[in-house]
Structure 1
Amino acid sequence: MSVIVTAWVTEGTWPACVDAVRMHAPEDADVLLLHVSGLDVPGLAHAAYAGLLGRGHPEHDPGARLEDLEAECAARLLDAAARRLGRPCRREEREGRVEREVVAAAAGTDLLVMARDGDPARLGPRSLGPAGRFVVDHAPCPVLLVWPEAAPDVTTLPPPPPH
């Protein structure tokens, strides 16, 4: 039975995640490259068009074009990640609440690889954004958390509490 590794790939941090899989996952691991598109940007465009410009011409709704562009970008990102991985893998694109979709995709996974999505300049809790924090707190499997670039120096640790 092979190990199942899911790598959450996002714009800007995907190379670090793919490199971590290459370094830490067994060669025979079943690797899933996961990208999740949020619904917020196309949803806002749909709502703005309907509310401000009218409902009479759905063919002019910019939300549909944004959905198409997002799907194209996700496919290109997953293709680039698969090329960088350099071994067989599966690819999956999901839509929805990003953090919840990542947690759901990690069900049945032996390892989730993800990159920090917050402040990259200093160590500490702010190095995780809201989505990353949610995933780390709720993942149903072990998580390998990587820095998208070189980790900051330990001098960037927050000061100890005053008590």
Structure 2
Amino acid sequence: MRVLAWITEGTWPASIDAVRAHAPDGADIVLLHVSPADVPGAAHGAFAGLLGRGHRERDPGTRLEHLAAVSAAQLLAEAARRLGRPCTRTERTGRAEREVVAEAAYADLLVLARDGDRTHLGPRSLGPASRFIVDHAPCPVLLVWPEPAPGITALPPSPPP
């Protein structure tokens, strides 16, 4: 069995705890982090368009790419330590929702944590990327709350009969 856990800043501990609780012994566990390409790309463009050309060593986009890679590696290392089991760490760059769904094509289970408004039950507890992933994942999805779920008193009122 191959278990894929999407590791994101802020909610990754819940995903790791869910993998620890639900992945069978001997499962092939993959921790996936996706760094966005748009921020370094914008910095590259701003430098080229506004600040001049010909001095690639001063391009802030390159520095942002490096910082993103270091941050992702640290986050994946911390997640692997918390997991406490053998795992593969994978870093991808691009649109998170597309990269996670692409990687989920090879998984038997995808684990991710809610990342939207977590004060209420319902669809808004998922951010746009998570909503896309849940709707398009080609494998079963285990969706977890990063903190205790709100009670059912958070449900909207019933519609009139």
Report what 1:33 is aligned to: 31
For normalisation by structure 1, the TM-score amounts to 0.95
| Structure 2 residue 102 is the aligned partner of structure 1 residue 104 | yes
Matched residue SS, 1:145 = strand
Aligned-residue Cα RMSD (Å) equals: 1.2
1:74 Cα deviation after fit: 0.3
The 2-side partners of 1:114 and 1:161 are apart by 31
1:7 Cα deviation after fit: 0.4
1:56 Cα deviation after fit: 2.8
Point out where structure 2 has 5 or more consecutive residues left out of the alignment.
Answer: none
| Structure 2 residue 14 is the aligned partner of structure 1 residue 16 | yes
Matched residue SS, 2:157 = coil
The 1-side partners of 2:49 and 2:114 are apart by 36
> Runs in 1 of length 4+ with deviation above 6 angstroms?
none
Point out where structure 1 has 5 or more consecutive residues left out of the alignment.
Answer: none
For normalisation by structure 2, the TM-score amounts to 0.96
Report what 1:135 is aligned to: 133
Once the two structures are superposed, residues 61-102 of structure 1 have per-residue CA deviations (whole angstroms, 9 ceiling, x without a partner) of 111100000000000000001100001011100011110000
The 1-side partners of 2:70 and 2:121 are apart by 34
Count residues in correspondence: 161
Matched residue SS, 1:59 = helix
Matched residue SS, 2:78 = helix
Q: Give % identity.
A: 72
The 2-side partners of 1:149 and 1:93 are apart by 25
The 2-side partners of 1:65 and 1:162 are apart by 56
The 2-side partners of 1:52 and 1:160 are apart by 55
